[in-house]
Amino acid sequence: MFEKILIANRGEIAARIIRSCKKLGIKTVAVYSDADRQAKFVDLADESYHIGPAPVSKSYMNIENVIEAAKRSGADAVHPGYGLLSEQASFAEACELESLTFIGPKPAAIEKMGSKVMARQTMKDAGIPIVPGSSDPVADVEEAAAIAEKIGYPVMIKASAGGGGIGMVLAENQKTLKERFPDTSKRAAMLFGDGTMFIEKVISRARHIEVQLLADSYGNVVHLFERECSIQRRHQKVIEEAPSGTVQPDLRKKLGMTAVKAARAIGYENAGTIEFLMDEEQNFYFLEMNTRLQVEHPVTEEITGVDIVEEQIKIAAGHRLGIKQDNLKINGHAIETRIYAEDPYTFYPSPGRITSLKLPEGKGIRHELAVRENAEVTPYYDPMIGKLVVSAASRKEAIQLLKGALDHYHVDGIKTNIPMLKEIVSHEQFEKSNTLTSFIEDYYLKGIRNQKEKEKSK
Amino acid sequence: MTEVKATMAGSVWKIIAEKGKTIKSGEDIAILESMKMEIPITSSSDGVLKEWKVTEGDFVDEGDTIAIIE
């Protein structure tokens, strides 16, 4: 087992990883930028190293600085968390070169799944259903229009190197496609250093269903069932739950087996997630694979009792998976809401100082937090300041618990999305599991617009 | 005279419109950046961009005046 792990990340996920390390008796090393000197995760670690100024390109995404800190600290492994360097094959390679174990898959698997075009081709070859669209990179706007004509509008214009909802744009018809394709490609080149684009058909009335996987280096692969993450804004998840409110046992088995097959096809190791889009007839299509720990991993932990971070560390240390598929059972229902520092109506970020923070406590309530009272939420990083996770015997009871917990979740000094979360979880369509990826637009935003119209006409 | 105000807190990523130019209502004049999100700032009226109250890289709070249109 490792003696010391460096966490190449920040915020709530750094704190989360430190917790599992402590449980395993492993020492922890935090790295931080100028903006995170006072951050909670830095205090939680046994040691910490400053790695540069606030912008991520100069600190958390600066491979040289992170590796340098790992060497200075004498760490024997690196956990990349999610985002930042977690899906950069070059970082995993740099770790290997310095004899640091990268807690994640092999660089080749990261690379294969990191290019969305290559991932689609790989999965298609493995017999996994993929979203209809282009199988090769789209050269220019003319080719994009030709493909869209063939598969039918609306289509998504996507960056091969994109992810996390960034680098994708909807085109309803040929006119908007022609307008938006060049800009989206240009933006992708600027943001990801790769302007390669592809086209996918929009699956209408879709749900986002994903399967959590664990794979060791001896060829053992298990799935930890599905999560439903359909409630999204700006193509980013807001509410996630496990299990899905609509997936029945037969479909669950099929989803799990398909995901395991996908992982085997690429010789995957460590924790990973296969994301699917599911249509109204419950046909599902491969969307992408996340070759890392996910933000929403706690809901799976709650229903299976598996500590996913602990498993990641053990797998990376060369242990065999101690979990057998047949021994995994779903126990109750868990829901996670992401707490974002943002305006609940425009979704614009709201940085600032948290003057007061009061959290709900009680049975079935779990917090993952990036902040504490008097913390400064800076404009440099993602707006997520915490996650509220509830678990109960049934979906209905979990929703009830969540409503109460949100009522007692008070953040002062900055704006948060809590008012929106409250509205969503008390909506009858949410209670009925009528959760499509368009939920926020269909019910929440439309409701706000109607309210405004009413006020105007008064 | 109209003051164009910041719709969110963040840094001024890009100034698009030039001082002295005629601006139409709804036209983007600057882009703010915060928490990995870019938000265009649009003019709420027609007129001439008389003065910039910020430069690129400045940090603004929600409601701060960014430019003056006359």
Q: Are residues A270 and A321 in the same domain?
A: yes
| Distance in angstroms (rounded) separating the CA atoms of residues A242 and B48 | 55
- The answer to whether the Cβ–Cβ distance between A382 and B7 falls below 8 Å is no
pLDDT digits (tens, 9 = 90+) for A218-271: 999 999 999 999 999 988 999 999 999 999 999 999 999 999 999 999 999 999
Residues of B in contact with A352 (CB under 8 A): 9
* Cβ atoms within 10 Å, residue A173: 11
Residues 6+ apart with CB under 8 A from A446: none
Same domain membership, residue A410 and residue A337: yes
Rounded to whole angstroms, how far apart are CA atoms A144 and A341?
Answer: 37
Q: Which of A147, A180, A201 is the last residue of a domain?
A: A201
Identify the residue whose tokens are 């009413």. A454
Residue A167's domain is classified under what CATH number?
A: 3.30.1490.20
SS3 of chain A: CCCEEEECCCHHHHHHHHHHHHHCCCEEEEEEEHHHCCCHHHHHCCEEEEEECCCHHHCCCCHHHHHHHHHHHCCCEEECCCCCCCCCHHHHHHHHHCCCEECCCCHHHHHHHHCHHHHHHHHHHCCCCECCECCCCECCHHHHHHHHHHHCCCEEEEEEEEECCEEEEEECCHHHHHHHHHHHHHHHHHHHCCCCEEEEECCCCCEEEEEEEEECCCCCEEEEEEEEEEEEECCEEEEEEECCCCCCHHHHHHHHHHHHHHHHHCCCCEEEEEEEEECCCCCEEEEEEECCCCCCHHHHHHHHCCCHHHHHHHHHCCCCCCCCHHHCCCCCEEEEEEEECECCCCCCECCEECCEEECCCCCCEEEEECCCCCCEECCCCCCEEEEEEEEECCHHHHHHHHHHHHHCCEEECCCCCHHHHHHHHCCHHHHCCCCCCCHHHHHHHHHHHHHHHHHHHC
Closest-CA distance, A381 to chain B, in angstroms, reads 5
Residue A190: predicted pLDDT:
74
* Catalytic machinery residues of A: 292
How confident is the model at residue A164, as a pLDDT? 63
Q: What is the pTM of this model?
A: 0.92
Residue A126 domain flag = no
Subunit contact B34:A351, Cβ cutoff 8 A: yes
Residue A64 placed within a domain: yes
Q: Which residues of B touch A (CB under 8 A)?
A: 7-11, 33-37, 39, 59, 62
Q: What are phi and psi of A406, to 5 degrees?
A: -65, -35
Answer yes or no: do A160 and A307 share one domain: no
Residues A189, A214 within the same domain: no
The CATH number assigned to the domain holding B40 equals: 2.40.50.100
| Residue A393 tokens, joined | 């015997």
Q: Of B11, B39, B59, which is closest to A348 when you measure between CB atoms?
A: B39
Q: What sign does the dihedral A52-A162-B61-A376 (CA atoms) show?
A: negative
Task: State the smallest CA–CA distance between residue A300 and chain B in angstroms.
Answer: 28
**A341, B59: Cβ pair inside 8 Å?**
no
Q: For B10, which residue in chain A has the nearest alpha carbon?
A: A379
Q: What is the pLDDT of residue A263?
A: 97
Pairing of strands A333-340, A236-242: antiparallel
Residue B39 is predicted with a pLDDT of 84
Select from B7, B9, B11 the Cβ nearest to the Cβ of A352.
Answer: B9
User: Is A14 found in the same domain as A145?
Assistant: no
Q: Are residues A284 and A146 in the same domain?
A: no
Shortest alpha-carbon distance between residue B64 and chain A (Å): 14
- Tell me which of B31, B33, B34, B41 to substitute to probe the interface with A (most A C-beta atoms closer than 10 Å): B34
Q: Is A346 on the interface with B (CB under 8 A)?
A: yes
- Of the candidates A56, A85, A103, which is a domain's last residue? A103
Question: In which domain, by residue range, is B13 found?
Answer: 2-69
Which domain range does residue A52 map to? 4-103
- A211 and A195 share a domain? no
Cβ <8 Å between B35 and A352: no
Inter-chain residue contact A349 with B34, CB threshold 8 Å: yes
Domain count, chain B: 1
Q: Are residues A410 and A288 in the same domain?
A: yes
Q: Residues B19-65: pLDDT tens digits?
A: 999 999 988 899 888 887 788 898 989 999 999 999 998 989 889 99
User: A454 in a domain, yes or no?
Assistant: no
Domain count for chain A, please give it.
3
- Does residue A82 sit in the same domain as residue A217? no
Please work out, in degrees rounded to the nearest 5, the angle formed at the alpha carbon of residue A407 by the alpha carbons of A405 and A408. Answer: 65
A389 and A309 both lie in a single domain: yes
**Would you tell me which residues 39-98 of chain A have a C-beta closer than 8 angstroms to some C-beta of chain B?**
none
Domain of A70, CATH number, reads 3.40.50.20
Q: How many CB pairs under 8 A join A and B?
A: 40
Same domain, A184 and A219: no
Shared-domain flag, residues A192 and A224: no
Token pair in block for residue A13 = 């996920």
CA nearest A164 in B: which residue?
B36
User: Low-confidence residues of chain A, pLDDT below 70?
Assistant: 164-165
List of chain B residues whose C-beta atoms are within 8 Å of the C-beta of residue A349 = 8-10, 34-35, 37
Residue in A closest to B7 by C-alpha: A348
